[in-house]
Each structure stands twice: as structure tokens, then as C-alpha cells.
Amino acid sequence: MCILCQYGENYMNDSTTLYCYGCISLTTIPQLDNLVTLHCSGCKSLTTIPQLDKLRDLDCSRWTSLTTIPKLDNLTYLSCYDCTSLTTIPQPNNLIRLDCSSCTSLTSIPQLDNLTRLFCSECTSLSSIPSLDNLTFLNCSGCTSLTSVPSLDNLTELICSGCRSLTSIPQLDNLTELYCSDCTSLITISRLDNLIQLYCFGCTFLRYIPEQIESNSISGCKCLEKSIDYDSSVLSKIISIQLWWKKVFLWKKINNLVYLEEFLEIYYKPGNKGEWVSRKQLKYILD
């Protein structure tokens, strides 16, 4: 039993915080005009949020019947993940952090000019993300309807793994980390001058990667491995790479990897079985 179920109408009207996690008996939230923080995740019998003008921090995640959230002008933090019936997100001017992951009915994100962190993974109906100038972190993994990522000048980390309709990564000048594994329609990644880490497992149509990456992990990118003539400037700092094509083609590429580790996992024929092979041993395998 949460505090509202326990005290009902006697709950203090001047309260600034309310926590009632997982209370399935709670059906309404009273009009508490001084409320600043409201955390009521998993209260599945709640369907509406009252107009609470002073509210700054709202967690209404896992309300499966919630369809709308009122515009709360002072809101800075909003967590509404797994609200599967939610179709729109309000547009509070001061919102800094938004987590709307697994909101499967959500089709768009509003223009939130002060937003710095956006979590919208597994929003399978989401088809676009607006240009959010102050955004530094974006997790849109598993957004299978998303076809593009906007140019976000301040973005430093992008997680878009499993975005299977995404075809390209745009120019993102401040990006340092990119996770785009299993983006099976991805063809190109633009030059990203500050990129340090790239993870792109299973990008089966990827043909081009930036040349200046310090560390990355590439596996199962069949078009990339088949169409690019690798040289040391592109892949000299790669930790591991799984290769799936002909032996003679492998030997040519491996000779060009000047900073290759002593042992490299080589997949020299199609299938799931690989062998650990030293560079010295490889000559005899390829002969």
C-alpha cells in the first residue's frame, strides 16, 4: 500500500514529493499544487496525470493505459518508458532528460530545445527524430521504423543498434562513440573527426567507415570486407575483425595491418567455426 492509499484525502496538500512505485490499487492522483517530484512507476491502474504546474521531475513509466501527458512547463526530467499506449510527448520548454523507451505507439519526438539526453530505444513506430541542438546523448536502438538520424552538432554518443531501416550516419562533428550494430540497411558512415569508438557488428550492407578511428570492433560486415581495399591507415588500430571471404584475399589484407595483434581470430570460410591463427601460421593455411 502506497502513502496515498494509506492516507487518501488526508495526504498533506503542501507536499513537494510523492513516491508510490508499483501501487496497482491507486486509481487517481490528487491535485497537489506544490508537488515538485512525482514518481509513480508501475501504477498500472492510473490513466491520467493532473495539471501540476510546479512539477519538475515525473516518472510515470509502465503505465500501460496512459495515452497523454499534460504540458507541464517546469518539467525538466520525464521518464515514461514502457507506456505502450502513449501516442504523444508534451513539449515543456525546460525538459533536459527524456526517457520514452519502449513506447511502441509513439510516432514522433517534439522539438525540445533544451534536451541534452534522449532515450527512445525500442520505439518501434518512431519514424523521425527532430534536430535537437543541445542533445549530447541519444539512444534510439531498436527503433526499427527510424530511417535517418538528424545532424546533431553537440552529440557525443549515439547508440542506434538494431535500427534496421537506417541507411546512413550523418556528419556529427563532436561524436566520440558510435554503436550501430545490426543496422542491416546501413551503407555509409560519414567522416567523424572526433570518433574514438565504433561498434558495428552485423551491418551486412555497410561499405564505408571513417578512417580516423582509434578503436573499433567490426564483425559480419560482409559488404565492407568484400568491397574495400583495407590499408594500415584505415584499420591499423583495430582490435579484432572477423573475415568471411577467400583465403588469398585475407592474406593480402592481413599483410597491410601493421599493428595487428599477435593472434587474430580468422573466419576463413563461411560458417560459425573459427580458428585462432598466428600471423606466422597463416601463410601455411593460405598456401
Instruction: Report the amino acid identity of residue 169.
Output: I
pLDDT for res 275 = 40
- Of the two residues 28 and 131, the one the predictor is more confident about is 131
Q: Are residues 12 and 67 in the same domain?
A: yes
Residue 111 lies in a domain: no
Q: Are residues 141 and 172 in the same domain?
A: yes
Residue 71 lies in a domain: yes
Q: Are residues 9 and 89 in the same domain?
A: yes
**Per-residue pLDDT reduced to its tens digit, 48-74:** 999 999 999 999 999 988 999 999 999
Asked which of 208, 228, 248 is the last residue of a domain, the reply is 228
pLDDT for res 243 = 37
Q: Are residues 21 and 85 in the same domain?
A: yes
pLDDT for res 90 = 92
Q: Are residues 72 and 158 in the same domain?
A: no
Q: Are residues 224 and 244 in the same domain?
A: no
Distance CA 174, CA 203 (A): 23
Q: Are residues 102 and 130 in the same domain?
A: no
Pick from 29, 41, 34: nearest CA to 55? 34
Asked which of 47, 74, 106 is the last residue of a domain, the reply is 106
Which residues, 6+ apart, have CB-to-CB distance to 153 below 8 Å? Answer: 133, 172, 173, 174
Pick from 87, 89, 71: nearest CA to 79? 89
Residue 273 lies in a domain: yes
Residue 284 lies in a domain: yes
- Dihedral sign, Cα of residue 148, residue 150, residue 155, residue 156: positive
Provide mean pLDDT across the span 118-130.
96
Q: Are residues 224 and 127 in the same domain?
A: yes
pTM (predicted TM-score): 0.76
Range of the domain at 184: 118-228
pLDDT for res 7 = 61
Residue 266 lies in a domain: yes
**Per-residue pLDDT reduced to its tens digit, 161-185:** 999 999 999 999 999 999 998 899 9
Whether residue 94 has pLDDT greater than 70: yes
Q: Are residues 176 and 245 in the same domain?
A: no
**Per-residue pLDDT reduced to its tens digit, 208-240:** 776 555 545 565 566 554 333 444 443 433 333
What's the number of domains the chain is made of?
A: 3
Phi and psi (nearest 5°) for 208? -135, 140
Residue 132 lies in a domain: yes
Whether residue 14 has pLDDT greater than 80: no
Q: Are 71 and 51 in contact (CB under 8 A)?
A: no
Residue 208 lies in a domain: yes
pLDDT, mean over the chain: 77
- Of the two residues 205 and 37, the one the predictor is more confident about is 37
- Of the two residues 216 and 75, the one the predictor is more confident about is 75
| Res. 250 pLDDT band, cuts 50 70 90 | very low
Q: Are 69 and 50 in contact (CB under 8 A)?
A: no
Q: Are 245 and 267 in contact (CB under 8 A)?
A: no
Point out which residues pair with 57 in neighbouring strands: 37, 77
Q: Are residues 256 and 213 in the same domain?
A: no
Q: Are residues 200 and 253 in the same domain?
A: no
Residue 113 lies in a domain: no
Distance CA 29, CA 40 (A): 10
Q: Are residues 69 and 8 in the same domain?
A: yes
Asked which of 106, 126, 150 is the last residue of a domain, the reply is 106
